[in-house]
Amino acid sequence: MLEAAVQRMNHVSRHGVGASLLAISIILIGGTTVEGVASDLSVVLAGFGTCALVAAGLILGPSWTLRTGVITASIASFGMMVCFLARFSFVWTAVPVVLVNVLVAAVIGVAALFGRQERQFLIVGLAVVGILFLTLQGMRHSYSEPSNIDVYVLHEQAAAALREGQNPYTTGNVHVLETYLTQDPEVISEYTYPPLALVAYAGSSILFGDSRMAGAIAIPVALALVLWFVGRRWSATDRGEHFAVAVVALLIMNPMNFFIVYAGWTEAIALPFLVVSAALWTKKPFVSALMLGLAFASKQYFIVAVPLLFFLPDPYRWKRVGVVGATTFLTFVPFLLWDAGGLINGVARHHLTRPPRSDALSLGGVGIDVPIALGVGLAAVVGILVARRAIEGGMALLAVGSVIAVFTFFSVRGFRNTWWLVVAMASVAIGFLGSQYGPTAIEDPC
């Protein structure tokens, strides 16, 4: 009996350390990677945050509980905002984007009202206060159109090319000066994001008159999906709805949300797919793999996470690899048929031949040039080690987040938009860790 008690204490202690490391990673990365130009301190803190995220993935296990999740989400939410405010006096944003986030907070408040869970109002209230504070600060420093941000201009020019029946990936159909804060700009002559991003952002420009609507829609959709799936996953417990609201509040409190949408960064559209993939990881593995394939198709660096799929402790593993690969490939087919050379130039060669950016929030930004093979190799190894323990969607999402974090830290062009997605993945994972209450048996629909 004494031996069992000691083992339980050791297990609880190990579990607490893992949860603490996960909260620390979110605080350090989310609270320090908002600035536009790299500083030695920010890169160091991002490095510590990356190490904490990887360690959490190697320590946490299936015994994750609702109480642990609520505490982790609350500490991470509060700590990230404190860390952010300690380093910055304002956040760059546009008023319409902030209003979208305020609207999302109101929707969550209505959901809490119908859930008849009084304590939810405290969590939602804290989120709204944080959003209102950032709204006031953002209004002081807002500007109407980010015409100096290459990503936004690139989306808009791609939309213009499509309207004229031209292929945005064909060299010369776009002409954008790459944004450099400390160097002379280079000319971008092809659309440089994958076709899924082109359809989402150029399509938003055509439909709504502003390409940024893709991100403005994607993030609220992701929040709604988290509220729904996390609430249902933990519905067997007494406070499952509280947990769902706590995770949503954590996602809202990420200080980079506004600028991700405002600048047109494409990481936003990956988040809804990742949420659904994590939520249905064991219950509907085919749909989960389909969603993961769409997420991987939205950004080139997800290719670094592909090796971890081969090492999942999952009877559906090989089918999952096939579905993810086929889904990603199919999104490229139309533009491969239209202009394969232009597509390869835009999504691959362009990124592989660009010089280091001194404003990168990575080792490359502070003058440390790490060979790309080393960064990719370390990221792949980390992903495999964490993936071998991924018996459910939350841990799988941590594995993907760990890969992207390590790759970004060692890259010559790691920017705050990528760090935002790392924080978002870690935050969402909190809601889907553990198998005590969630589904554990894989239903193979094939």
What is the C-alpha to C-alpha distance for residues 190 and 71, in angstroms, rounded to an integer?
46
pLDDT of residue 108: 52
What is the C-alpha to C-alpha distance for residues 404 and 302, in angstroms, rounded to an integer?
7
Structure tokens at 27: 């605080």
Q: Which amino acid is at 387?
A: A
DSSP letters spanning 83-134: HHHHH-S-----HHHHHHHHHHHHHHHHHHHHTT-TTHHHHHHHHHHHHHHH
Task: Find where tokens 């109002």 sit.
Answer: 121
The H or E element spanning position 351 is: helix 350-353
- At 221, is the pLDDT very low, low, confident or very high (cuts 50, 70, 90)? confident
Count other C-beta atoms under 10 Å from residue 381's C-beta. Answer: 14
Structure tokens at 165: 């029946």
pLDDT of residue 359: 75
pLDDT of residue 174: 79
Residue 133 has pLDDT above 60, yes or no: no
Residue 70 has pLDDT above 60, yes or no: yes
What is the C-alpha to C-alpha distance for residues 189 and 176, in angstroms, rounded to an integer?
7
The H or E element spanning position 177 is: strand 176-177
* Cα separation values, 286 from 17, 293, 308, 427, Å: 33, 11, 17, 24
- At 2, is the pLDDT very low, low, confident or very high (cuts 50, 70, 90)? very low
Residue 433 and residue 389 in contact, taking contact as beta carbons nearer than 8 Å:
no
Closest CA to 254 of 426, 51, 50, 404: 426
DSSP letters spanning 8-54: HHHHHHHHHHHHHHHHHHHHHHHHHS-SSS--HHHHHHHHHHHHHHH
Residue 201 and residue 191 in contact, taking contact as beta carbons nearer than 8 Å:
no
pLDDT of residue 288: 96
Q: Mean pLDDT lowest for which of 140-144, 255-259, 313-317?
A: 140-144
The mean pLDDT of the chain is: 79
Residue 162 and residue 202 in contact, taking contact as beta carbons nearer than 8 Å:
yes
| Better pLDDT: 200 or 65 | 200
* Cα separation values, 125 from 9, 98, 220, 240, 293, Å: 35, 16, 17, 18, 36
- At 236, is the pLDDT very low, low, confident or very high (cuts 50, 70, 90)? low
Residue 15 has pLDDT above 80, yes or no: no
Residue 311 has pLDDT above 90, yes or no: yes
| Better pLDDT: 443 or 339 | 339
Quote the pTM value. 0.85
Degrees to nearest 5, angle at CA 53 with 297 and 251 = 65
